[in-house]
Amino acid sequence: VSQPNVMQFVFAEHEGSYLVGVIAALKAKADGIKNPRFGFIGGIPGATITKFEVGYIQGILSVLPDAQIVDYYANDWGKPELAKAQAKNWYDSGVYAIYSAAGGTGNGTIAQAKEYRSQGRNVWAIGVDSDQYEEGLYSDGESAVLTSMLKMVESSTKVALQAVQDGTFASKVVNLDMKADGVGYSSRNKALGADIVGEVEKVKRD
């Protein structure tokens, strides 16, 4: 039931996830990986997490139409050990990058990517919702988190405050998509390079 003093916000997670899929595929291409495979780890299955997964898959396929993608659902938001074990299996079998939309469970993916990158293995984790670059930092000051899908929660605060100021505040659902600066990606990891960032910005404009 909507309340007169509540403005609700939903985010176009699939659009931000599309961008990180594009990034993972472009990076694999730049690294000359033959037949790269990609992974997705979800928390508990549901319509929202499907948006993350399908956006990511479409982003990868837009760059590498024949790419192979594997997925796994932990059925839990707070079990990083499950994601870590799955990430290890996948990285060992040749998966190049793993995107997790799994709450605290996804931290296991980052932990495994850190472990392997610090051993010189070329594998990546992709963060979700906020910039997880710092969580991916390992021994030599590099991050195992290639990029993160960003949910710009601050945009919702801005829209709500602006509406109050303008006297247009209403009880409604506002969809914050990429155009409204609701979702995006992190370009903080220098491993992306200017070429990939340039390509992704082009995709973003499209």
Predicted local confidence at residue 140, as pLDDT: 78
Percent of the chain with pLDDT over 70: 100
> What is the rounded CA–CA span in Å between residue 151 and residue 194?
23
Chain centroid to CA 67: how far? 18
Q: Which residues pair with 69 in a beta bridge?
A: 38
Low-confidence ranges of the chain (pLDDT < 70): 1
The torsion defined by the Cα of 143, 148, 152 and 154, in degrees rounded to 10, comes to -20
Predicted local confidence at residue 2, as pLDDT: 77
Alpha helices in 93-192 (DSSP H): 107-118, 153-166
- Exposure string (b/e) for 57-72, b if CB count within 10 Å is 16 or more? bebbbebbeebebebb
